[in-house]
Amino acid sequence: MSSTEAAYNAEELQGRHFLTLADFSQDELTSLLAFAKDLKQWQKQGKPYRPLVGKTLGMIFAKSSTRTRVSFEVGMFQLGGHALFLGKNDIQLGRGETIPDTARVLSRYVDGIMIRTYAHTDVVELARYASVPVINGLTDAFHPCQVLADLLTLKEHFGQLKGLKLAYVGDGNNMAHSLLLGAAKMGIHVAVATPSGYEPDGDIVRDSEQAARENGSRVTVTHDPHEAVKGADAVYTDVWASMGQEAEASERRKAFQGYQVNGELMAEAKDGAIFLHCLPAHRGEEVTADVIDGPQSVVVNQAENRLHVQKAILASLL
């Protein structure tokens, strides 16, 4: 796909929301990835691309962030626009103003809204009442921007996506959900290994299985991390206790014993397998330092790609 084709196809997404990868076809995701690749190349070459001059993105943060805030803010600047940080104590949403009122008012001020929060239903409601595109920067159910960056990282490293095997070891959380959907839509075999009681949502698994059947791949959900990792091209993990689960941290550390990604587990993956993590990471818990800081780790490339895929999303939707 040429640069012109990628940009043209991505522009067909103008005005849409970006809430979950389930809302997008394989062709649409492929266009966004191609567009992100072009944007990354243009930035490295020093070629300016500023389609969002005069545009403003309102960024609502109920959860703190490093990569989400910096990548969206820098991305809007590089595209010629402006990003406005709205912390939970900066707007009336944090003092009881309704989501519909917030959506309607912000839509009169800004050209798009990015929100990073807890309940996915809040993002859905915000999108329902907003007249500008709403982007899901993270909820407890989904993390679509992160997984688009993960797909770009896999494409860069392996040259293609279809037929790869991705193993995810850990909590059946928002990362597991979005990886299941994104991998299945792109023809990637995906295996998720969790302790009993921490499996991904059953409806999301069924949706992913349907997408996998349509795209010639398969979905596996197991309690055996060795089964999941065996023959994998990429191994992925996340923290055992996410933001908002701090009170469960001790209980979760006990439940997740045996689910650490270490050298022994990585040895069961294919030769040349890579390691991914959405960050931040807790070395010595979900992953050992020798893995995340070793030659198989691509976590810094993965984090950089958040900038490029989010620029593709912003330039397409806004």
Is 257 considered catalytic here? no
283 noted as active-site residue = no
Q: Which of 17, 140, 146, 150 is catalytic?
A: 146
Catalytic residue (one of 238, 277, 302, 310): 238
Catalytic residue among 69, 189, 252, 306: 306
**Structural domains in the chain?**
10-142+305-317 (3.40.50.1370), 146-303 (3.40.50.1370)
For 94-139, what is each residue's pLDDT tens digit? 788 999 999 999 999 999 999 999 999 999 999 999 999 999 999 9
Q: Is 143 a catalytic residue?
A: yes
pTM: 0.95
Average pLDDT estimate for 74-98: 93
**Residue pair 238/286 in contact by the 8 Å Cβ criterion:** yes
Model pLDDT for residues 6-35, shown as the tens digit of each residue: 454 556 899 999 999 999 999 999 999 999
Q: Are 236 and 179 in contact (CB under 8 A)?
A: yes
* 145 contacts: CB under 8 Å, gap ≥ 6: 18, 68, 135, 136, 137, 138, 306, 309, 310, 313
Q: Is 306 a catalytic residue?
A: yes
Is 238 tagged catalytic? yes
Annotated binding site: which residue ranges?
Answer: 65-68, 92, 116, 143-146, 174, 238, 242-243, 278-279, 306
**What are the DSSP calls for 35-51, one per residue?**
HHHHHHHHHHTT----T
Q: 136-140, 158-162, 246-250: which has the minimum mean pLDDT?
A: 246-250
Binned at pLDDT 50, 70 and 90, residue 199 comes out as: very high
Please confirm, yes or no, whether 116 is among the known catalytic residues: yes
Distance of CA 163 to the CA centre of its chain: 20
**pLDDT value of position 12:** 80
